[in-house]
Amino acid sequence: MKKWTVHIWDEGKYVDLWTLNHTLAGSLPAGVIFFLDMPYSYGFLFTVIVALAWEVIELTLGIREQAWNKFFDVITAILGFIGTYELMAKNVLNNKILFIILLAIYVILELWGYLTVKWRHQKES
């Protein structure tokens, strides 16, 4: 694995590449509630709860991050939800295509990040 592909996933004090994943994770519920014609407030509340719960899960798994990084992970997930919902409401791009693009980027980044973390742990062992 090339050095830059590993270090690009290093933790930042405020934001890092994982922040993009959190933003996209907030975008996905926006698409789901938009397509299911559910109330905005349900999706917003769901996104906030999942973003906060994820940070708690990371703590229980021993993943330590800067406090500001955790804060921005939650905020960017919320902003991802709001931004995606607004884009879909304005129908800026075909909403199904937009959702598929966001989902694809999310899955690719999650796999890349996961494999990088796994590779680091194997290297440290």
Q: d(Cα 83, Cα 95) in Å, to the nearest integer?
A: 13
Looking at residue 38, what is its pLDDT? Answer: 96
CA distance from start to end of the chain: 16
- 10 contacts 120 by C-beta, under 8 angstroms: no
What pTM did the predictor assign? 0.87
Q: d(Cα 14, Cα 73) in Å, to the nearest integer?
A: 9
pLDDT digits (tens, 9 = 90+) for 46-95: 999 999 999 999 899 888 888 899 999 999 999 999 999 999 999 988 99
For residue 5, is pLDDT > 70?
no
Q: d(Cα 109, Cα 92) in Å, to the nearest integer?
A: 24
Query: What are the residue boundaries of the structural domains of the chain, listed by start?
Result: 15-124
pLDDT digits (tens, 9 = 90+) for 13-56: 878 889 999 999 999 999 999 999 999 999 999 999 999 999 99
